[in-house]
Structure 1
Amino acid sequence: MSSLEQATVTPTRSRLQAGSSSELRAENFSDWISLVGNRFGQLSLSTNVPRFYGSLRSTHVDETCITEISACAHRVRRVASQIEPTDAKFLKLSLLLEGRGFVAQDGRSAVLRPGDLAIYDTSRPYTFEFEDNVHVLLMVFPHHMVGMSADLLHQVTAVAIAGDRGIGKVISPFMEHLGANLDLLQGINGIRVMHSALDLITALLSSELARKKPEGDTRRAHTEKLRLYIESNLSDPDLSTARVAAAHFMSVRYLQYLFKEQGQTVSGYIRERRLERCRMDLLDPAFATQPIHLIAARWGLLDGAYFSKKFKAAYGESARQYRLRNRHDAA
C-alpha cells in the first residue's frame, strides 16, 4: 500500500482501560490516529484513501477488550523498535466480518476473507492490512488468560482459521453475537461469558495446532488430555506432577518432557490455573463475603502465605487489594 498518509501512534495509556461501548467516529485519517492511538500499544498506521473515515465501538470486560471496527482501507504495523521488554503482553484475535485482510507475523502470512479468524501477538512485530472497506471484530486479552504456552501460541499466529468448519464454525458466530451485544457484557455475567469465550478460543487454537501436526504424532493429544485432567482437579490440594503422571500411567520424566516441549513446567501450569480461578472468584459477587484464604483453599492452595506471595507476583498486587479495587471499579 503506497501511503498518502502515515503516522506512528504512541498510546496515551499503557494498559487497557475501562470504557463504554459508545461509538466513536473519525471523519479523516488524523482523527483515526487519535482514536486508535489510545489502544493496544505503539503502532504505525498508513492509508492511501484520500477521504478516510472510520468508527469503532469497544467495551472492557475484566482484562479483555472487544472492539468493533468499520473503516476504509488502511495498514497497521507494529515494528520491533516500538516494542519494549516491559510492555504488557496481549494477544489479538480478529474476526473479519466484511472486506478482505492480510496478516503477517512470525514468518507467516495469510489472506483473510469474511468469516475467517486470525490471532497475533502484540509482543512481537506484525502487519495487518485491510485492502478495502472493512468491518472487523477485535478481541484483545493478556497471554495468561489462555491456557496455552507462548511457544504453542507462536505456532498459530498469522494463520487464517476458517469460520465455516470445525470449531471455527462455533467461534465465529459466537464472537459475532458478542460484537452485536457489547452493552450486555457488564458485571460478573459479562466476565463469565468472556471466560467462556476464552475457553472456546483455546479449543480453537488447540484444534489448529492438532491440524498442523504430522499424522501419527500423538504427543499433542497426550498433552491436551493432561491439561483437561489438571483443569478438572485443580481443587485437589494433592494435585502434583507425580499425581498427574500416575493417573496417566507415565513417568514423571516423560510428563515433564511433554510440558517442556511447550515451554512450561507441570507445577507451573497447575499454579497458573489455580491462581486464575482464584482471581475469578475474587471478582464474583457470589464470593464477596468469603474470606480470601477459603477461596484459595477451594482451589487447592492451602498455604496462605504461599498463595499471597504467588498471587502478588502474578497480578502485581495482593489478593485483598485486587478484590477491593475491582469492587470499587464495579461501583
Structure 2
Amino acid sequence: MIGNLESFQDELASSGFPPLVNKLAGVGFRGRATTRDLGPLRLVSLDTPESACIGRERDACGGENLAVKVMARGRTRIEQGRGDAELGPTDLVLLDPTRALRFESTAAAHVTILVPRRELRIRPAQIDRLIGVRIDGSHGPGALVSVLARESARWATEFREAEALRSAAAVVELIAVALEARLGDDQPAPDERLRSRIAGYIEARLADPDLSPPSIAAAHNMSVRRLHKLFEDQPLTVAALIRHRRLERCRAELTESGRTVTAVAARWGFSDPTHFSKLFKATYGYNARALVTSNRAQMTKTRTAGPEEDGGDQGRH
C-alpha cells in the first residue's frame, strides 16, 4: 500500500498513465498499484480512495495506447470526449490517455488494460463514438472482458511468453467484440462485411509469399484502387495489415519453437532476412535473434532443472 500521493503518481506514470490532479487527495492518502504485462498488453490493478481527478490533454505523439478501465469495486463517473459514463462493479469504459479527462470516484478497485492502438482494429471514427461510454459488464461480451481483465491481472505472471501472446490476442479480440456490440453493429454495412471477408482471406494465406494487394484484389474481383479505398479509414492499410499479421505469426513462432530466425521469416513470407530483422526490431523494440536465444536458454534451463524438480535420480546420466 502506498501512503504518499506523489509516490503513487510516480507509480502510475511508470505504468503508462497520464498525470492526474486529485482534488481530494490529502495527508491520509493510501492507494495500491500493481502492474503486470501480458504480451503487448499492460494490466494495472488499482485500489484508490475517494477521488476527484482531472487529466489534461496531452500530445497525441505519446498516445500509442488506448485504455480499457474495468471496475471491480466501488462506483465512478468519468467524462471524456462526448461520453459521460456512470460505472459500477463489472462495468467498463474505453479511454484515450491523450485526451482531457474528468472523473469522480468512491473508494474503488479497478483494472485498466493498456492496449496498443495497432492491436485494436477499430476505425478512428468508431473509437471517437466509444470514448467515455459505459459498457455493461454484467452480460454479453462486456461480461467476458470484465472477468478476463480481472483474472488476467491476477495470473499474468504465471504465463509463459508464448501463452501470454496468444492470451493477449484473445483478450484484444474480446475487447473489439464488446466495443462493436456497444456500437450496435450487429448488422454491419456491406463494406464492413467485405473488409471482414478480406481480412479472413489474408489471415488464411499469410504464408503465401505472393500475397499482396494486387493478388487480393484479383481474388475478390475488384480493382487495387477499390481495395485500397475500402481500407482507407482503417488503422492499417492492406499492405500494413499483411505485414503486421506476418510479424505477429513470426514472433509467436520464434517464442515457442527452436527454428532459426531466417527459417521462420521465410515461412511467413519474408524472403530477405536483413529486412525482416530491421522490421522486427522497429516494430517490437527488440531483436528477433535475441528472442530465439532467450527461448533456447529457457528450454535448456527447463530440461536441466527437470529431473531435480521431479525428484529423479540426480546421479543418473
TM-score range, shorter chain: 0.7 to 0.9
- After superposition, residues 93-132 of structure 1 pair within 5 angstroms as 93-122=68-97, 124-127=98-101, 129-132=103-106
Give the gaps of 5 or more residues in structure 2. 302-317
Which amino acid is the alignment partner of residue 41 of structure 2? T
- Other structure's SS at 2:140 match: coil
Question: Counterpart in 1 of 2:261?
Answer: 292
Please give the alpha-carbon distance, in whole angstroms, between the structure 1 residues aligned to 2:189 and 2:252: 35
Unaligned runs of 5+ in 1: 1-24
Distance in 2, Cα, partners of 1:216 & 1:91: 24
**Structure 1 counterpart of 2:190, one-letter code:** T
SS at match of 1:261: coil
Deviations 1:196-223 (A, max 9, x none): 21222233334344x169x773322322
Taking structure 2 as the reference length, what is the TM-score of the superposition?
A: 0.80
Looking at secondary structure, tell me which structure has more helix per residue: 2
**Shift in Å, 1:263:** 4.7
How many residue pairs align between the two structures? 299
Secondary structure (helix, strand or coil) at the match of 1:181 reads helix
Alignment RMSD: 3.1
Give 1:7's aligned residue: none
Give the distance between the partners of 1:181 and 1:305, measured in 2 at CA.
37
Matches of residues 108-187 of structure 1 in structure 2 within 5 Å? 108-122=83-97, 124-127=98-101, 129-148=103-122, 150=124, 152-187=126-161
Among 52, 68, 71, the alignment partner of 2:45 is 68
Q: Tell which structure's C-alpha radius of gyration is larger.
A: 2
Paired residue for 2:33? 56
Letter in 1 for 2:15: R
The residue correspondences of 1:1-331 to structure 2 (distance < 5 A) are 25-48=1-24, 50=26, 51-80=28-57, 82-83=58-59, 85=61, 87=62, 89-122=64-97, 124-127=98-101, 129-148=103-122, 150=124, 152-209=126-183, 211=184, 217-282=189-254, 284=255, 286-287=256-257, 289-321=258-290, 323-324=292-293
1:158–1:148 Cα change, 3 Å: same
Q: Kindly provide the CA deviation profile for residues 151-209 of structure 1, in whole angstroms up to 9, marking residues without a partner as x.
A: 55444322212223332232222223223434423543233322321222233334344
Q: 1:12-49: CA deviations, max 9, x gaps? A: xxxxxxxxxxxxx1234344334324321440230425
TM-aligned CA distance change 1:126 to 1:313, over 3 Å = same
Report % sequence identity: 25
Secondary structure in 2 matching 1:93: strand
2 CA distance for matches of 1:37 and 1:327? 34
SS at 1:271 equivalent: helix
SS at match of 2:241: helix
SS in structure 2 at match of 1:92: strand
Aligned counterparts of 1:263 and 1:45: Cα–Cα separation in 2: 32
Please state how far the C-alpha of 1:290 moved relative to its aligned partner: 0.9
170-179 vs 253-262, which moves further: 170-179
